Amino acid sequence: MPAADPWQTAEIAGPKKASVITKPAMAQAVIHRAQHPVLIIGHYAATIDIGERKLVDYLLDLARAHAIPVIATGHVNRTLKERGYTGAVIMPAVEAGHRIADPCWNGPDGKGPCDLAIIAGLPYPMEWTLLSGLKHFAPYMKTITLDNTYQPNANWSFANIPVKEWQENLEAITVTIGTEGQTDV
Amino acid sequence: MLPLTEKKIALTIKEMESGLGRIRDLSISIGKLSAADWTEPEGPTPYPSLTALRTWDRTLLSRYQPFYMPFCDLCCLCTYGKCDLTGTKKGACGITMPAQQSRTVLLSACIGAATHTSHARELVTYAIKKAGRDCPINPGGNAIGVEAPIIRLVCGEKPEILADLETVLDYCESQITALLAVTHTGQEGDPLDFESKVLHAGMIDHVGMEVADLAQISALGYPKADPDAPLVALGMGTVDTTKPVILVIGHNVPPSVAIIDYLHNENLSDHVEVTGICCTSIDATRYSPRAKIIGPMSWQLRYIRSGIPDVIVVDEQCIRTDALAEAEAIHAPFIATSEKNCLGLPDRTNDTADAIVTDLVGGKLAGVLILDPEKAGEVAVRVARTVAPARKNVRASTDPATIREQVTACTQCRLCQRACPNDLKIPQGMKAAGAGELSLLAGLYETCVGCGRCEQACTKKIPVHSLIVAAAAERIKNEKFVIRTGRGAIQDIEIRNVGGPIVLGEIPGVIGFVGCANYANGGKEVAEMSVEFAKRRYIVCTSGCTAMSIGMYRDEEGKTPYEQFPGSFSAGGIVNVGSCVANAHIAGATIKIASVFARRNLRGNYAEIADYVHNRVGAVGVAWGAMSQKAAAIAAGFWRLGIPVVVGPHGTKYRRMLLGRADHDADWYVHDQRTGEDVYAGPAPEHLFVAAETKEEAMVLVAKLCMRPNDTTRGRAMKLTHYIDLSQRNLGTIPDDIPRYVRTTADIPVTLKGEITRILAQSDWKERPIPDPTLLSRDKPSPPKER
């Protein structure tokens, strides 16, 4: 399948489309550059298998390693708590988008406006529309999705990649960033 | 042009001598409603224009700001385009992305309002023909005093006979035309003015729906506000396939009524099955409980392809536009009955029934257009009875061996999954089926929305949807449920009984589960949610396709929700009001609380009543599978009343939410009418339109959105109990916004006193007064906006 087609075939956006993450270093650089990123975790993260682990495990590794505040959407917070992560702010994904798009919002941790939203685990069309809102109305920030399906409305997205390749990417991103700091939230 | 209200002419002649003779007691009314003796004082906005309620709209929209999520970056509505509106770019006409999105929402709401209003016009015309212009409007006999709460509120009129509804529709049609004109290139350019007009379209939509249901209830003898409306058959498994079977699809009931009448008149009612899909089936069962409901609109492909229907009759709305092709594939004669849905068929309205029957039975025509319901009814029955014996062999389902054979062509390209709105793992099911294991494929049936896009995507032309349905054959045989048919309006006595507990917060909320069947995870979720809230003693209302989905699940004892819970508008009731247009009764019930319980004047008094509903009536709409433009219009009507609506994950495709900011304290001040002070009342309700990602998240949201500034301490404590309990069960934690909702220590639920007190102590919480709340600017100075 072509590398940069939306996963849901008809979800074609417009002239501005996501850059494809072709190697983990790209995602690492984006996340490193961010001064105040936020991680939005959708409920599918608790159910998607990646090797022996779930997507949520990789995302929590990332949050913990880089001290990234988490917004838990859907009912994923239950899973976060089961994994010992109790610091998430709970709100619907669209509310998270609305707040992130406000340059005066101080983020889920109250430390200042977000300059990067890392998103994964939402239903594909919901993530698509949420990213569209941020693409158009939050020009001062960037978005990256860590799902293995291409989201054209993000600034950066994987293409539609197989689970094994996805796993390798996520492991590389998490491990490298993990060396930067081990702050738990 | 004169406003409509000034076009009314009433001429009364007591006695006159003329060349024609003596005339005595002659009364002529043109465009005039009949209730001239209605003494209720008229409010400020009878027959409101596009801008009459703009101030109220702005009040709501300043709290609940649009968050736009464009579904397309381009505008392609005129020949300047396509214009790229990405970010801050403007189109060739100067339009911005926020304006374009709100313009699209307005278009959608106009389509919805036009559809309901056009449907209402058809029903009023039909009802007048059937029952006469002077047929009294009678939604519930002596049990109903406020017969048309929405019409009274919006139009400032009190309709008494069917002919009165024509004047109301004149108004609706004029408003929809003007609203549609607003969307033309070079008209409105401000997103909030577009949004105000969206709310206007929604309000008009509710008027149109009320007209439609009042007309059919009054003329067709439906249940009249009856909590014990009959339980009727629901599901494909309920059909007696040994009989000729007629399928009706759509929303406009006259052809179904004609079929039922013809069967009755010919003593054939026991010999032919009348089955239906979508709202027309609910209305058919309101007319005759012998009719059977197959399921929501998503059941169209699966039921037609079962081969069971011998004749398919369609009217209007939500009908698959390829229904004719699907009917041809099973050799079922097809009858279209609406000017709005002719499908390219020859118009045989003026031919004799004999001639039409001959052509359909003989196969000369695959389908016909008959714009006469009675003739369509006769033709449908006669054709069904004639073709049924020869069609028995069509009713063979695909056997497992055939399924295995057909899936062998699958290349696992995953295009079917990528075309599926719900991302169903069809390739895995196909692979397993090829190896003889059908359970994976069958398991998809529950969450399949029946759109058929998988088949369009398949390069090998595998009939994917049909194979899913065939694999689930056993499950389909057991689709044998019951649903309480539409009861119509809510009785005044019911409103009197629950008005106090609702307004004081002691009944924790009124929740309307409404809308289409585009569920992200199957219809079971909406059944589970409705049962959960009914068990918690909320009042659960429902209608349309959602009402069907609720009926399709059983508890451990084998009972459907309609058998478990009463149909009364009371705590713990599950109240099916009827088809789409019966949604007006849910909105009407909230309005009647203001009228019947609180004795507020309704007449042309929209803003005051909406302010009352918004601040005092803990009502929330849940459109879990909302798909259509009609659903958008219905939601907009609730928004203008200040009633929040929650949609499922596909609801983000409506392009924008209306979201409050709980963290902006200044947004949540109300004017306390007792003290004259501005008082922080908390974010209640926090949002006006919000998409939830999962059922679990939705239930927590709904419980929260039921809170209102007017809640008594006892009521607030009860609402908080449910909110916290649902949050703990579904999200694993006590919500972090509890301090915003606790006004005094008396609000704290007794069972959680220790924990909540600790939470309050850790915040900067201070006790605050419980206001007699209003947002109306005539009573309330603007609160300070400090952000």
Check residue B10 and give its pLDDT. 56
The reply to whether B712 and B688 lie within a common domain is: yes
Q: What is the mean pLDDT of residues B410-424?
A: 97
Domain presence at residue B782: no
**CA separation for the pair B295, B279 (Å, rounded):** 9
Q: What domain count does chain B have?
A: 5
Q: Which residue of B has its CA nearest to A150?
A: B418
Task: Give the residue, A13 or A153, on which the prediction is more confident.
Answer: A153
Contact B73 A78 (CB under 8 A): no
The reply to whether B74 and B166 lie within a common domain is: yes
Residue B652 pLDDT exceeds 50: yes
Q: What is the mean pLDDT of residues B664-674?
A: 96
Residue A155 pLDDT exceeds 80: yes
Contact B736 A89 (CB under 8 A): yes
Domain presence at residue B675: yes
The reply to whether B459 and B415 lie within a common domain is: yes
Token pair of B742 as six digits: 């606790």
Q: What is the mean pLDDT of residues A159-179?
A: 87
Q: What is the mean pLDDT of residues B188-210?
A: 98
**CA separation for the pair B520, B422 (Å, rounded):** 6
Domain presence at residue B226: no
Supply the range of the domain harboring residue B770. 481-774
Residues B484-500: tens digit of each pLDDT: 999 999 999 999 999 99
The reply to whether B724 and B682 lie within a common domain is: yes
Token pair of B400 as six digits: 């497992």
Domain presence at residue B787: no
Q: Do residues B247 and B265 touch, judged by C-beta distance below 8 A?
A: no
Residue B611 pLDDT exceeds 80: yes
Reduced DSSP (H G I as helix, E B as strand, rest coil) percent helix, strand, coil of chain A, to 5:
40, 15, 45
Q: Which of B477, B500, B520 is the last residue of a domain?
A: B477
Residues A65-90: tens digit of each pLDDT: 999 999 999 999 999 999 999 999 99
The reply to whether B470 and B500 lie within a common domain is: no
Check residue B8 and give its pLDDT. 55
Confidence of residue B12 (pLDDT cuts 50, 70, 90): low
Q: What is the mean pLDDT of residues A36-47?
A: 98
The reply to whether B682 and B745 lie within a common domain is: yes
The reply to whether B623 and B554 lie within a common domain is: yes
Domain presence at residue B698: yes
CATH classification of the domain holding B76: 1.10.8.190
Domain presence at residue A9: no
Share of chain B above pLDDT 70, in %: 94
CATH classification of the domain holding A148: 3.40.50.1220
CATH classification of the domain holding B351: 3.40.50.2030
Q: Which of B395, B426, B442 is the last residue of a domain?
A: B395
Domain presence at residue B781: no
Question: What 3-state class would DSSP assign to B573?
Answer: coil
Tell me the residues of chain B between 262 and 281 that have a Cβ less than 8 Å away from chain A: none
Query: Which residues of chain B does A1 touch, with a Cβ-Cβ cutoff of 8 Å?
Result: 413-414
Residues B448-494: tens digit of each pLDDT: 999 999 999 999 999 999 999 999 999 999 999 999 999 999 999 99
Domain presence at residue A5: no
Q: Which residue of B has its CA nearest to A139?
A: B87
Confidence of residue B6 (pLDDT cuts 50, 70, 90): very low
**CA separation for the pair B725, B727 (Å, rounded):** 5
Confidence of residue B20 (pLDDT cuts 50, 70, 90): low
Alpha carbons within 13 A on the beta-carbon side of B373:
20
The reply to whether B461 and B495 lie within a common domain is: no
Confidence of residue A2 (pLDDT cuts 50, 70, 90): very low
CA distances to A125, B131, B585 from B217, rounded to whole Å, are 40, 11, 12
Confidence of residue B781 (pLDDT cuts 50, 70, 90): very low
Query: Which residues of chain A does B663 touch, with a Cβ-Cβ cutoff of 8 Å?
Result: 99, 105
Confidence of residue B393 (pLDDT cuts 50, 70, 90): confident
ipTM: 0.95
Domain presence at residue A14: no
Task: Return mean pLDDT, chain B.
Answer: 94
Check residue B505 and give its pLDDT. 79
Token pair of B424 as six digits: 């169903």
Domain presence at residue A4: no
Tell me the residues of chain B between 536 and 555 that have a Cβ less than 8 Å away from chain A: none
Residue B782 pLDDT exceeds 70: no
Residues B215-269: tens digit of each pLDDT: 999 999 999 999 999 999 999 999 999 999 999 999 999 999 999 999 999 999 9
Confidence of residue A13 (pLDDT cuts 50, 70, 90): confident
Q: Do residues A139 and B88 touch, judged by C-beta distance below 8 A?
A: yes
The reply to whether B307 and B427 lie within a common domain is: no
The residue among B647, B658, B693 with the most chain A CBs within 10 A of its CB, best to mutate, is B693
Domain presence at residue A159: yes
Supply the range of the domain harboring residue A124. 36-176
B67 touches chain A (CB under 8 A): yes
Domain presence at residue A103: yes
Check residue B785 and give its pLDDT. 45
Check residue B778 and give its pLDDT. 56
Domain presence at residue B779: no
Residue A182 pLDDT exceeds 80: no
Q: What domain count does chain A have?
A: 1
The reply to whether B304 and B293 lie within a common domain is: yes
Q: Do residues B513 and B624 touch, judged by C-beta distance below 8 A?
A: yes
Check residue B29 and give its pLDDT. 58
Q: What is the mean pLDDT of residues B138-165?
A: 96
Residue A184 pLDDT exceeds 70: no
Q: Which residue of B has its CA nearest to A131?
A: B69
**Number of neighbours of residue B428 by Cβ within 10 angstroms:** 16
The reply to whether B564 and B693 lie within a common domain is: yes
Of A94, A104, A139, the CB nearest to B787: A104
Share of chain B above pLDDT 90, in %: 91
Tell me the residues of chain B between 413 and 432 that have a Cβ less than 8 Å away from chain A: 413-415, 418-419, 421, 423
Length of chain A: 185
Check residue B398 and give its pLDDT. 77
Residues B703-762: tens digit of each pLDDT: 999 999 999 999 999 999 999 999 999 999 999 999 999 999 999 999 999 999 999 999
The reply to whether B466 and B507 lie within a common domain is: no
Residue B1 pLDDT exceeds 50: no
Q: What is the mean pLDDT of residues B83-111?
A: 97
The residue among A75, A80, A82, A109 with the most chain B CBs within 10 A of its CB, best to mutate, is A75
Residue B164 pLDDT exceeds 50: yes
Domain presence at residue A31: no
Residues B335-381: tens digit of each pLDDT: 999 999 999 999 999 999 999 999 999 999 999 999 999 999 999 99
Domain presence at residue A56: yes
Of B87, B98, B419, the CB nearest to A139: B87
**CA separation for the pair B278, B580 (Å, rounded):** 9
Which amino acid is it at B245? V
- State the maximum Cα–Cα separation within chain A, in Å, rounded to a whole number: 42
